[in-house]
């Protein structure tokens, strides 16, 4: 007979009819939106416009059997926008992928030097890509196939996003230099940040 007076945890010896979960307040986490900034709204807006266009593409192609031709090209450009605007947000939060394995095996003074070099290379890389994207935008002519908008706007948007990434990378580098610590220099001290990013 089934006894519902005391819930059991999954994995305990129980019958096939006992699927009761014991969820305590410690297991539930609240969503933390404290790191969202006003410039992040652009990523959210682009994402929802992209979701609408992709849904419209699916609906017109598979339900109405008469797809809108413009949805594929616009979805492609919106995906580019979401990717690069999201990269600006990742650069601001200093959450781009980093290989931390080597840092655990070298002494702390060398980790600080490595962090400075990485910050300089990252800032230079983003700034160079911003300049190259701007050069590509100036050489891109013609209009988009489906709507009457210059194709160079896409490359200008990418150039602006790379510029934003370079600015945030420089700010993060100055922050690392002035504080003397970072997620890579002192991984134990920043363990909570690393888990939040994951």
How confident is the model over 85-129, as pLDDT tens digits?
A: 999 999 998 888 877 777 778 888 898 998 999 999 999 999 999
In the predicted structure, residue 17 carries a pLDDT above the cut 90: no
Say what percent of the chain tops pLDDT 90. Answer: 46
Q: Which residue has the higher pLDDT, 54 or 40?
A: 54
Sequence-distant (6+) residues with CB within 8 A of 110 are none
In the predicted structure, residue 141 carries a pLDDT above the cut 90: no
Which of 123, 94, 90, 118 shows the shortest CA–CA distance to 106? 118
* Mean of pLDDT values over 173-183: 89
Give the pLDDT confidence score for residue 102 in this predicted structure: 76
| CA–CA distance, 154 with 48 (Å, rounded to integer) | 18
CB 84 within 8 A of CB 158: yes
Could you state, in order of their start, the residue ranges of all structural domains in the chain? Answer: 38-197
Give the pLDDT confidence score for residue 19 in this predicted structure: 53
Average pLDDT of the chain, as a whole number: 83
Which of 180, 198, 168, 191 shows the shortest CA–CA distance to 111? 180
Give the pLDDT confidence score for residue 25 in this predicted structure: 54
- As a three-state string, the secondary structure of 86-113 is HHHHHHHCCCCCCCCCHHHHCCHHHHHH
* Mean of pLDDT values over 18-46: 73
* Mean of pLDDT values over 181-198: 66
**What's the predicted TM-score (pTM) here?**
0.76
Give the pLDDT confidence score for residue 164 in this predicted structure: 96
| CA–CA distance, 2 with 4 (Å, rounded to integer) | 6
Q: Confidence class of residue 24 from pLDDT cuts 50, 70 and 90?
A: low
* Mean of pLDDT values over 3-28: 54
| CA–CA distance, 181 with 177 (Å, rounded to integer) | 7
Question: Cα 122 vs. chain centroid, distance in angstroms?
Answer: 17
Q: Estimate the crossing angle of helix 152-179 against helix 108-139, to 10 degrees.
A: 160
Q: Confidence class of residue 161 from pLDDT cuts 50, 70 and 90?
A: very high
Distances (CA, A) of 7 to 28, 32, 152, 179: 18, 30, 62, 49
Tokens of 121: 């290379």
Tokens of 36: 């969202």
Give the pLDDT confidence score for residue 35 in this predicted structure: 80
* Mean of pLDDT values over 42-51: 94
């Amino acid at each position: 007979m089934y006894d519902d007076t005391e819930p059991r945890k999954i994995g305990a010896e129980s019958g096939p009819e006992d699927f009761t979960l014991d969820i305590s307040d410690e297991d539930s986490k609240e969503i933390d939106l404290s790191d969202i900034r006003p410039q992040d709204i652009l990523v959210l807006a682009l994402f929802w416009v992209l979701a609408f266009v992709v849904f419209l593409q699916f609906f017109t192609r598979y339900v109405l059997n008469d797809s809108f031709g413009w949805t594929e090209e616009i979805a492609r450009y919106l995906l580019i926008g979401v990717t690069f605007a999201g990269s600006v947000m990742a650069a601001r939060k200093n959450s781009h992928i980093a290989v931390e394995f080597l840092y655990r095996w070298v002494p702390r003074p060398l980790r600080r030097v490595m962090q400075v070099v990485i910050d300089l290379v990252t800032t230079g890389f983003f700034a160079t890509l911003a300049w190259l994207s701007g050069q590509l935008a100036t050489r891109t002519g013609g209009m988009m196939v489906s709507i009457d908008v210059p194709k160079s706007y896409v490359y200008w948007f990418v150039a602006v996003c790379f510029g934003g990434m370079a600015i945030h990378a420089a700010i993060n580098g100055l922050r690392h230099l002035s504080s003397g610590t970072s997620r890579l220099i002192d991984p134990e001290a920043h363990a909570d940040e690393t888990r939040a990013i994951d």
